[in-house]
Amino acid sequence: MAAKRKRGAPAAGKAKRARSAPGAGEAVPERSEPPQEYSIPPPVSQGKWKNKERVLIFSSRGINFRTRHLMQDLRTLMPHSKADTKMDRKDQLFVINEVCEMKNCNKCIFFEAKKKQDLYMWLSNTPQGPSAKFLVQNVHTLAELKMTGNCLRGSRPLLSFDPIFDQEPHYALLKELFIQIFSTPQYHPKSQPFVDHVFTFSITDERIWFRNYQIIEEDASLVEIGPRFVLNLIKIFQGSFGGPTLYENPHYRSPNMHRRLIRMSVAAKFREKQQVKEVQKIKKKGTKVLVEEDPTEVVFVTPAEEKPVEIQLVKPESKPIVKDKKKLRKIQRKKQKKLFRTEG
């Protein structure tokens, strides 16, 4: 029996199924396969996540709403970023290295606000360095621009750099810093295996212009997504948030100096207007040019009659000075009575 079971193992299984069926002599119908369900599996990384770059993006207290939206846009575009609470302005900047160490981050983007109107950005490789400080200008966020482009959340970007980045040594250093911070690591758990947008870094007017474009598959054209901002380089430091200065931008002008020059130009225009008014007043008061007399002016002039000059030899009677009107009337009445008496 054991040998038969071994030889006809599949047949034995069929016989058991037949016995369990209601009709033993009937043939067992074949089971219909369930319909296939078409589902798109989630993207699975084909490799191992080796480049474990983590970027800490946070700011100091006192930033405005536009800076807050810009910071949130960068966190959305960079899936390898982390957030943290705002740092107190009284704390020193080297404390950020400890914050990055606690957050297990080796890169940092720190927004520093001053006077509630000036925005500075720090890009740093913590904790060894180097680090760069920029003045952020012309900030436009995703919600503000209403761009027509769109990209997949968590997709990896292409980085496009101006050829000038390879010509100057300080720009070459910044290029490497931008690559390590803004490029999403390959096979990152939060990233998607697609490349559908481009980060462009172009240099114009001694400033770095940041733009984000979508790649359209049909004709490979570019449509701007946002955000956009301009970075004006101030200094590059050897350490993280400090240390010896490697490069200082000679074309940089601080916002305080810029506002001071604007005020001086307005004051100079006001002074110029005042000087013009004074010159006009002096011209009006100056001696006028005398015109020669016209002989025809005296044609219709008639000479006035000369009256004889009368010389008064007797001193005129002094009139009594009376302040009260009633007394004056009494005096006049007395004089009239005297006249009547003399005439009578």
Tens digit of each residue's pLDDT (9 = 90 or more) over 133-147:
999 999 999 888 777
| Residue 3: per-residue pLDDT | 46
CA distance 155 to 212: 13
Are 67 and 139 contacting, i.e. CB atoms less than 8 angstroms apart?
yes
CA distance 7 to 282: 131
Phi, psi of 217 (to 5 degrees): -70, -30
| Residue 337: per-residue pLDDT | 84
Record the tokens describing residue 121, joined without a space. Answer: 């950005």
| Residue 111: per-residue pLDDT | 95
CA distance 137 to 258: 13
Sign of CA dihedral 163, 164, 169, 171: negative
CA distance 162 to 209: 10
* Per-residue CA distances from 141 to 83, 117, 179, 212, 324 (Å): 18, 17, 22, 11, 91
Fold assignment, 55-257: Rossmann fold (3.40.50)
CA distance 55 to 84: 11
- Which residue has tokens 């212009």? 209
CA distance 114 to 57: 18
| Residue 42: per-residue pLDDT | 56
| Burial readout 13-32 (b: 16 or more C-beta within 10 A, e: otherwise) | eeeeeeeeeeeeeeeeeeee
Are 246 and 236 contacting, i.e. CB atoms less than 8 angstroms apart?
yes
Cα angle value 241/49/85 (rounded, 5°): 40
Q: State which residues of the chain have pLDDT below 50.
A: 1-4, 6, 8-16, 18, 20-25, 28
| Residue 193: per-residue pLDDT | 84
- How do strand 197-204 and strand 222-224 relate by DSSP bridges? unpaired
Query: Which class for 240: exposed (0-12), middle (13-18), buried (19 or more C-beta within 10 A)?
Result: buried
| Burial readout 258-285 (b: 16 or more C-beta within 10 A, e: otherwise) | eeeeeeeeeeeeeeeeeeeeeeeeeeee
Which of these, 146, 156, 116, lies nearest to 227 by C-alpha position?
146
Can you give the residue ranges of every domain in the chain?
Answer: 55-257
